[in-house]
Structure 1
Amino acid sequence: MKKIKYIKLIMLTLALGLSVTSCMDEDWSDPTGDTAPYGNNDIQETNVISIADLKAKYASTLANQNDTARITDDLQIKARVTGNDIGGNIYSEVAVDDGTGAILICISQGGLFGFLPVGQEILVNLKDLYIGTYGYQPQIGTPYTNASGKTFPSRMNKTVWQQHFKLMGAADASKIDTLEFDISKAKDASYMKENCGRLMVVKGVRLKDADGVKTFAPESEKDGGNGVSRPIEGFSSNEFVVRSSTYADFAGTVMPQEKLDITGIFTRYSNTWQILMRSDSDFKISE
């Protein structure tokens, strides 16, 4: 645990160091420090499309379990970051939401929380990026074909990402809405399609595996994705789970046996809801 936190401290220190260097490079012509040290400041806000309309435009691609399509039009989305890698559970991607819907953006880079904190609004130039699905979960990135021959959007090179986004002002977490998950619709296909990728909270639930001893994600129980899925009581492991990485800060935390309010990015893998908690503050005992 200490090793993981030490590595994260190093990553944040490096990120801050790069920020200073970048600021110095930019500020030869902008001594006020108003120029954002990350991203592409030359991107102008034009042809902004809502995430809901983007999904509608690529509906035929997103209808498949694993698929990808190149975005050839000059389109942009403008959204706020709702989830990042600060707690070690979400990695190489950020979740963004513009109020009409949410989507994951896959980036091959660590320490994303250093310049893409929760509440940060970004403008993303989509042209020549790829949109598609991994297990029906909509995401943006670059194409990757796995050993089974399935192609889906995966982590884009960090240099590519830097050219495709622009920071819009300062981060403001108060402008992020956390939607309450309607557990009565957990098996509703249309509800899953509409809300997968969003920041949500499910209230008053128990973890089926919590026994006062088991932790969220022990190494001994990890699967091929270095994670552990803990079912929500009342559902099977193929329906509704809390998904935790063995690298998460809270991986070694004993799961509470009480009823919980659990917040996170509610993603999907096939027809399974997966809650990706962002940090250990994303779960608390229900009042």
Structure 2
Amino acid sequence: MNKITRCLIGLFSLLIILQACDYNDYDNPPEVEKIYPIYRTNSIEELKALYTEGGTEIGIEKDFVVQGKVISSDKEGNIYKSLVIQDETGGIEVKINSNGLYNYFKQGTTVFVRANNLKLGAYGGTLSIGSVPVDKNYENDFIPAPVMENYVIKAGEGEQVKPTVLTIPTLSSKYNNMLIQLNDVQFLESEVANNMTFADGVNKLTENRTLVDPDGNRLVVRTSGYARFADTKLPLGSGSIKGILTYFHDTAQLTIISINDVQLDKPRFIIIDLS
């Protein structure tokens, strides 16, 4: 067997091994540590548990690395300068001072976040990880784009995370910054009857709309005026909707990633008055 033949066999074997990796498996991630000198040391839940009021800087005494899959996309403009990643224990926002992150971090991409020298912060009760801020009025800041890859290491692309299917009554803060799906919901009659849009795209104003289920339970849908679908009229029908759940203090909010995640094309239902 000549050298060229042996090289071709070796390359073919490597391709088979790479194709066999399941990038959607939290417990058995691709063996990227053979490519990058980094590995997961802690879960996202353990990272978030370090937070104290005023923010928490992550020291350099020992490596603190979390691993997750990207569930966000800034392609349609409703997410700004951030990634949201999720593992089997929870989700967290990673603040990065760059636009067009979807070009590099596609949904389903596995990333490592090296938290050392970064700072946990909160806004309205929702946690994020970012740089140590210059302005002390903020608990953390955006990681500068030129040093982004020192902290956020792309491992490999894979299948997108499947949303957790919940109902409005079962929403809780343990799902904060996680991808969820709600079925059998619709926008309020008063909103669709007035031809309201998701937000004010003309004046670039963020606005809230309200989803409701057949029992009258409600959930805020918050949309940026910079979203590509800001001036899209609210769908008339009922159905399912997918997005990232966040909290502003005690108020649950849903952030839509893509207008394609809004599937409200069934007939409207009659809301049962339980009062």
Which residue of structure 2 aligns with residue 203 of structure 1?
Answer: 183
SS across alignment from 2:69: strand
Which residue of structure 2 aligns with residue 157 of structure 1?
Answer: 144
Offset of 1:103 from its aligned partner?
0.3
- 2:257 partner amino acid: R
Bigger mean CA deviation after superposition, 203-212 or 254-263: 203-212
Compare relative contact order (CA 8 Å, sep 6+) and give the higher one, 1 or 2: 1
Q: How does 1:75-86 map to 2 (within 5 A)?
A: 75-86=64-75
Structure with bigger gyration radius: 2
| Equivalent of 1:132 in 121, 128, 132 | 121
Which residue of structure 2 aligns with residue 89 of structure 1?
Answer: 78
Q: Aligned equivalents of 1:163 and 1:101: distance in 2?
A: 23
Q: Please, which runs of 5 or more residues in structure 2 have no aligned partner?
A: 1-33, 267-275
Which residue of structure 1 aligns with residue 159 of structure 2?
Answer: 173
SS across alignment from 1:248: coil
SS across alignment from 2:85: strand
Which residue of structure 1 aligns with residue 233 of structure 2?
Answer: 254
Which residue of structure 2 aligns with residue 272 of structure 1?
Answer: 251
Report which of the two has the higher share of helix. 1
Over 3 Å counting, the alpha-carbon distance change for 1:93 and 1:120 in structure 2 is same
Q: Please, which runs of 5 or more residues in structure 1 have no aligned partner?
A: 1-40
**Aligned length, in residue pairs:** 227
Q: How does 1:62-141 map to 2 (within 5 A)?
A: 64=53, 67-72=54-59, 73-141=62-130
Offset of 1:269 from its aligned partner?
1.2
Kept in 1, the 8 Å contact 2:39–2:112? The answer is no
Kept in 2, the 8 Å contact 1:212–1:254? The answer is no
Q: Aligned equivalents of 2:78 and 2:242: distance in 1?
A: 13
Q: Identity over aligned residues, as a percent?
A: 26
- 1:215 partner amino acid: T
Q: What's the Cα RMSD here?
A: 2.4
Which residue of structure 1 aligns with residue 48 of structure 2?
Answer: 55
Q: Aligned equivalents of 2:227 and 2:108: distance in 1?
A: 21
> What is the TM-score of this pair, normalised by structure 2?
0.75
Kept in 1, the 8 Å contact 2:130–2:143? The answer is yes
- Per-residue CA shift, 1:192-224, capped at 9, x if unaligned? 1x11000001111122222261111124686xx
Which residue of structure 2 aligns with residue 183 of structure 1?
Answer: 168
Offset of 1:77 from its aligned partner?
0.7
